[in-house]
Amino acid sequence: GAVVSQHPSRVICKSGTSVKIECRSLDFQATTMFWYRQFPKQSLMLMATSNEGSKATYEQGVEKDKFLINHASLTLSTLTVTSAHPEDSSFYICSADRRGTDTQYFGPGTRLTVL
Amino acid sequence: GENVEQHPSTLSVQEGDSAVIKCTYSDSASNYFPWYKQELGKRPQLIIDIRSNVGEKKDQRIAVTLNKTAKHFSLHITETQPEDSAVYFCAASLSGSARQLTFGSGTQLTVLP
């Protein structure tokens, strides 16, 4: 149990386009989901915390208008990278906080490449 | 906010030897310390965690120790195997739970056969 999926696993897009990444908790309800960004050989940097039915809380330095987060249900959160540029190329990982277990379960990540 | 430092950044050991990775944290109020293993291109996976009311926790070949006074915690892997090779991340949380984790910079562990 406690499986988190992400879609797509890889995406290549042109500069200026928008990309949507989905994060789903497949077998449990997640009141909170987290979005991280990871550059090659670096640590996970928390971008934002997404709570079901409310606005996301963004970390300092993360542009909320560029990285749109929607947490429409207890099993789905989406991250939209708007007007993507090459510097947005990165590995984006979501995680979900499972109710009652106090553990974050990570998705498999999405590799975004902006040309 | 919390700041977590992790050392070493790379670690090579011979198969069968032990590996130790150390982390220090800045905020004495932090009370939850998980360790994650991440293989190349894959998701981080929780391997062990410890809370501030415990000084040591062990799970088979893996153990974690916590020194609240010194604000540091360590991961110990005994009898290492090639499949232990991965990047290991420590993290700390102020909330006492897996929420609001601050991650260390990671340690690339290589177990040589």
| pLDDT tens string B1-57 | 789 999 999 999 999 999 999 999 999 989 899 999 999 888 899 999 998 888 999
Asked whether the predicted pLDDT for residue B96 surpasses 70, the reply is no
Q: Do B42 and A107 touch (CB under 8 A)?
A: no
How far is the C-alpha of B65 from the C-alpha of A10, rounded, in Å? 38
Residues with Cβ within 8 Å of A24's Cβ and at least 6 positions away in sequence, in order, are A4, A5, A6, A7, A75, A76
Half-sphere exposure of A111 (CA within 13 A, CB side): 8
Residues of B with CB under 8 A from a CB of A: 34, 36, 41-46, 49, 89, 97-106, 108
In A14-89, DSSP assigns E strands to: 19-25, 30-38, 44-51, 57-58, 67-73, 76-81
Residue of A36, A91, A104 for testing the chain B interface, max B β-carbons within 10 Å: A104
How far is the C-alpha of A76 from the C-alpha of A78, rounded, in Å? 7
How far is the C-alpha of A79 from the C-alpha of A20, rounded, in Å? 6
Q: How confident is the model at residue A103 (pLDDT cuts 50, 70, 90)?
A: confident
Residue A42, pLDDT score: 86
At B82 the three-state DSSP class reads helix
Mean predicted confidence (pLDDT) in A76-104 = 90
CB-based burial label for B99 (10 Å; 0-12, 13-18, 19+): middle
Residue B35, pLDDT score: 96
- Mean of the per-residue pLDDT values of chain A: 91
Asked whether the predicted pLDDT for residue A114 surpasses 70, the reply is yes
Q: Do A106 and B43 touch (CB under 8 A)?
A: yes
Of B42, B100, B103, the CB nearest to A43: B103
Residue B73, pLDDT score: 97
The verdict on A106 touching B (C-beta cutoff 8 Å) is yes
- Whether B43 contacts A108, CB under 8 Å: yes
Chain B residues within 8 A of A35 when measuring between CB atoms: none
Question: What residues of chain A, 33 to 92, have a C-beta less than 8 Å from chain B?
Answer: 34, 41-46, 49
How far is the C-alpha of A78 from the C-alpha of B69, rounded, in Å? 41
CA B49 to chain A, closest CA, distance in angstroms equals 10
